[in-house]
Structure 1
Amino acid sequence: MIYKGFAEIYDELMKEAPYTRWTEFLHERMSKFGNGGTNVLDLGCGTGEISIRLKQKGYHVTGMDISEEMLSIAFQKTAELGLSIPYFQHDMRFPGELGQLFDGIFICCDSLNYLQSEEDVHAALHAVFDQLAPDGILVFDVHSLYKIHEIFNEATFADNNDEVSYIWNSFIGDAPDSIEHDLSFFVRRGSMYERFDEYHTQRTYSVKQYEEMLVQAGFTLLEVSADFKNQPPEQQSERIFFVAAKK
């Protein structure tokens, strides 16, 4: 999903997202498992919220996303803060040559779940491996199977305020362990509202499958945790975090 009209209101809809916790989580993993370098790639950076926070913590940050619209917003926010972050538009499966290797590559906010097949995930993990410096680390998070089947399935999310309103319906998709998000949102334009409709698909896998895919891509698995708790996943964990290294 490239987030076309959705990019305009993404920050409003995600204003409660724990971006600071994400940033601290990444910083802690770099301190614990990293190679001592500070050159990092925020892959699937969206509107730059985590990229900016990492930059403010002293990291040398590059942002990458498939959506030109999201990157435009990221660039604008970064410039308004007086910061400098290079942003690139690429598919995470085929990131192209960036002319550098990274000490850390991060795929946050379940961005990896937008890849539609196991082959796509393999391609992204192999691409990340190639872009990492020796002993560099990959950190990513994904939806758990529990969240797909027990929380998202047949759920409706809605909000109504003066500037942006939306209705968000989710239901199980055709592919195994996938979820379809059917969104309608309304953006205020003066005295009128403009409607946008989007359809997003996400797919996840078991913890064991992700572990196997990491090993197949050449990684050494370092840590698996859940829900920012620094503890192993449980049956009802919703967000699974993986840390792996290029050894």
Structure 2
Amino acid sequence: MVTVNIDSKYDYWARIYNQYWGAKYCENNLPPFEYLLQKYHIHQGANILDLCCGTGHMAQRLIEQGYQVTGLDISEAMLRYAHENAPNAQFILDDARFFNLPPTFDAVISPSGSLNHIMTIEELQQVFMNVYNALLDNGVFLFGLNLEDGYASWNGAISDGDVKDDFAWACCDNYNPVAKIGQFTITIFQLLAKDWQRFDITNLVRSYSQLEILSTLECVGFKDINVYDINGNLANSECNKFAIFAGRK
């Protein structure tokens, strides 16, 4: 058994993400983000940064709609798939907590809850500051987050998996509502040189309250802050599972 460390876990996970989840997450998240980009007057030709872009499925769809897209992700393996899936996008290998780009983007997006992998509100504030610095004046930040009830169904059971001739995997997830920390472990069996090898990848996520996010965005300097539901409609009451946040520089 090989236990993967934090520096390489996303690389080992990349094949699964590309084959099973990337396109699905894109299909689920594209409609509300399409609508909100138009609502905030981010039109064709605009320069968009796809933060934590994964395997590039969202980047490709946005390019097909006439946007200029740059993707940023921490995983080199994820970006190898992204180059294949979105060959006309630009990609940057970097960490959302530490990237430093000049103010060149009309919008920064992070659609599928990737920022839940940021484990403290202090580090999330640093991500928001990096985004703020990368936006042009009046630029827009749109991102989705799983909130506290979004992990209520994580109960320790196997939630996904598949078996192939040379590859098998299963995902098991659980959530601690007191610590507000979720954990999902992906166990992979891969046939290498006629021998099966096992890899166990443990991923941690943190849930945040709507109030925490709004307060942190305001602290960084974002204005015109709004919260939308999973369909892109303005949230009249507090969302408790998944919310899309919007702020303008």
Selected match of 2:55 from 21, 25, 47: 47
Say yes or no: does 1:162 pair with 2:164.
yes
Q: 1:129-168 alignment to 2 at 5 Å? A: 129-148=132-151, 150-162=152-164, 164-168=167-171
Q: Which segments of 5 or more consecutive residues in structure 1 lack a partner in the other structure? A: none
Distance apart, 1:187 and its partner CA = 4.2
Cα distance in 1 for residues equivalent to 2:225 and 2:212 = 15
Q: CA deviation at 1:137?
A: 0.5
Paired position in structure 2 for 1:94: 98
**Quick check: 1:62–1:86 contact (8 Å CA) kept in 2?**
yes
User: C-alpha displacement at 1:162, in angstroms?
Assistant: 2.7
Aligned to 1:245: 248
What is the CA–CA distance in structure 1 between the aligned matches of 2:82 and 2:26, rounded to whole Å? 14
Q: Which letter does structure 1 place at the counterpart of 2:92?
A: F
Give the C-alpha shift of residue 108 in structure 1.
1.9
* Comparing 129-138 and 167-176, the one that deviates more: 167-176
User: What TM-score, normalized by structure 2, do the two folds share?
Assistant: 0.86
Over aligned residues, Cα RMSD in angstroms?
2.5
Maintained 8 Å contact 2:116/2:206:
yes
Q: 1:15 to 1:40 in 2, by over 3 A?
A: closer
The separation in 2 between residues aligned to 1:233 and 1:202, in whole angstroms, is 27
Partners of 1:236 and 1:103 in 2: how far apart?
27
Whole-Å Cα distance in 2 between the matches of residues 7 and 233 of structure 1? 37
Distance of 1:106 and 1:21 partners within structure 2: 15
- Quickly say closer, same or farther: Cα 1:4–1:174, change in 2 above 3 A: farther
Choose 199-208 or 155-164, whichever is displaced more: 155-164
- Give the % identical residues: 24
For 1:118 and 1:40, locate their aligned partners in 2 and report how far apart those are by CA, in whole Å. 25
Q: Give me the TM-score of the superposition, normalised by structure 1.
A: 0.86
Distance between the aligned counterparts of 2:226 and 2:234, measured in 1? 9
1-structure distance, mates of 2:25, 2:160: 20
Number of residue equivalences: 240
The 1:101–1:15 alpha-carbon spacing in structure 2 relative to 1, beyond 3 Å, is closer
Q: Which residue of 2 aligns with 1:26?
A: 33
CA deviation profile, 1:64-122 (whole Å, cap 9, x unmatched)? 0011110111112223xxxx21100111121123x551000001211101111111100
CA distance in 2, matches of 1:43, 1:18: 14
8 A Cα contact 2:168 2:190, kept in partner: yes
Deviation at 1:35, TM superposition (A): 5.7
1:139 & 1:218 partners in 2: Cα distance? 15
The CA distance in 1 between the partners of 2:193 and 2:240, in whole Å, is: 42
Match of 2:3 in 1: none
Residue of structure 2 equivalent to 1:9: 16
One-letter code of the match for 2:26? Answer: Y
1:219: Cα distance to partner?
0.6
